[in-house]
Every structure is written in structure tokens, then in C-alpha cells.
Structure 1
């Protein structure tokens, strides 16, 4: 994974710079995200690994599937990826691009898993508290996992806050076991 990220980083930075220069961050983000999802499909992966198919044809196929928001600059970017045989990195490129965009726009996506349904008011209060703590605009996605017993688990990027009963019981068991 780290190796893929290392290979994808210069392409993601170049795409981000081009999108920023053209003031088209949202458009590039959408195209790269869809292209990343397309290339994550197992059938498409096998197609991309086919040595009998020209690299430019592979790029055209992906662009045809993506279809919306494909500018000449995006098409040129995909041509460079094809020539460098880097089309399989599109998923990682999209992830990095969206990270750069979120950093620039000072936004963060947060996943909250709770042992109970969070009301809209609770989600709003949590989002406000996290926004103040992280000094970023927060986009919150809540899900339910009754196996947590109680409490919540908050995830964003590398940060995980486990305030669940299951997590506390696990820590207690580890402490007693050592």
C-alpha cells in the first residue's frame, strides 16, 4: 500500500496543481474519484493488466466510463498515466488528490459508529465539537453497531477515538492479562 501511495503521489500532486490552476478542484475530484472506483473493479483491473491492449485504449475506456467532466486537461492527464503505465494507480491518485483538496479547503470527513441511533441534534453537536477541536469544517457520517455495547467510535484518517464500552472492556482485559 505504501509503495502504491509513493508511486501515485507525484501524479496526484500534478493533478492537484493543474486543477488548482484551472480553479476546477471539484470537477477533477469527481472525475478522479469515479475513475478510481472504476479501476478498483476486478474486471477492469484484469483489463488494465492485459498486455495485448494498448495503454491509450485502456485510458480511453476509463474516460468513456467516467464521461462527465472530462476536459482536455483531464484527458491529457490520463494520456500521461497511460504512457507511464500508471492507470492502475487511479484509485490511490484519487485518494491523495481528495486529501490535498480537503487540506486546502480545511475540511475533514468523519465516520462515527455508535451503539445507538444518533439524533440529528446529537450529530450536529458532535460535528460542532469536532469542528472546534480539529479547526476544520466537519462532514459527519454516522452508522450503527450494536456490538459496541455503548458509546461511540470516531474515525478520520489516521485518528481513531474509541469511546465505546467494547473498547474500554478490551483495554481492561489487556491490562488484566499483562
Structure 2
């Protein structure tokens, strides 16, 4: 995965910078999403793994995507095809979405709790996280009974583990050292 990220990051950054400069952030997001769907199509995925020449792949992609992509989007696809990088388009789209969220000062936060959170708890947690992270927060809540009690909050690199399972694990590690 890190190898894909290393290859995809310059493309995502270039696309995002161009989108910001041309004031087309949402349009580029839509174009990359469409191109990702094309890459994820089983037939296209098999063709990408084959031994087709870069020119053939570029013309195939352009013929499929030309109604959904503008001229700059088509040029972007051609460059990726010429460099043999069409298979990393899904990761480019993911990285682009992260850059877009960062630009808009929005962060997706995963909350895994032992029990379902009430609407009031979600609102209070969201407000608290917005204050701590200085960004608008999108909560993605899920339930994991293995936590026993409490919750695990993940926001990018930040992980807050207040679950009983996590506390027991830390206590066990402390006692073993």
C-alpha cells in the first residue's frame, strides 16, 4: 500500500493544485471518481494488467471517459497512461479526497464504541472533537462489542483509545514489563 501511495501522491497533488488554481475542486473530484470506477471495472482491470501499449490504453480510456472528463482531465489520464500508472488511479482519487478535506478544513473521524451512541452523545462528541482538532468533523460511528466499554476514536494519525479493552491491554503490557 505504501508503494501505491508513493506512486500516486505526486499525481494527486498535481491534480489538486491544478484544481485549486482553476477553481474546479469538485469537478476534479468527480472526474477522478469516474476514472476510478472505470479502472475498477473487471474488464478494464484485466486490460490494464495485460500487455497493451501505453498509447492503446490512453486511447481506450479517452474513448470511455471523454464525456465525463474535461480537456485537462483527459490530458491527466493520457499522462498517467503514458507512464503506466492507470492502475493507481483509485489511490490517486483517495489522496485527492484527503487533500480536498484538508483544504476545506474537514476531517473524517472513525468512532468505534462498545454500544450505540445516542444522538446527543454524537453531537457532544462531534463538538468536542471540532474544538480539539480545529476542523469540521464528520463522524463515522460503528459498534464493536469486543471493546467491552468505552470507545476508540481515530482521526488521521490521532488515536484516542478509551475502551476497557484498550485499558486492559495497556495494564497487561505494564505488568509484563
CA deviation digits over 1:8-42, x for unaligned, max 9? 22211111122112211122123323433553566
- How far is 1:61 from its partner? 6.7
TM-score by length of 2: 0.87
Cα RMSD of the aligned pairs, angstroms, is 2.1
- Structure 2: gaps (5+ residues): none
Match of 1:12 in 2: 12
- Write the distance in 1 (CA, Å) between the matches of 2:50 and 2:156: 34
Please report the TM-score for the alignment, with normalisation by the length of structure 1: 0.87
Partner of 1:2: 2
For 2:74 and 2:118, the matched residues in 1 are separated by 44
Closer, same or farther in 2 for the Cα pair 1:129/1:13, shift >3 Å?
A: same
- Contact kept, 8 Å, 1:147 with 1:166, in 2: the verdict is yes
Total equivalences in the alignment:
175
SS at match of 1:23: coil
Unmatched 5+ residue regions in structure 1?
Answer: none
1:79 Cα deviation from its structure 2 partner: 1.3
> Once structures 1 and 2 are overlaid, which stretch shifts more, 168-177 or 32-41?
32-41
Give structure 1 regions of 4+ aligned residues with deviation exceeding 4 angstroms.
Answer: 40-44
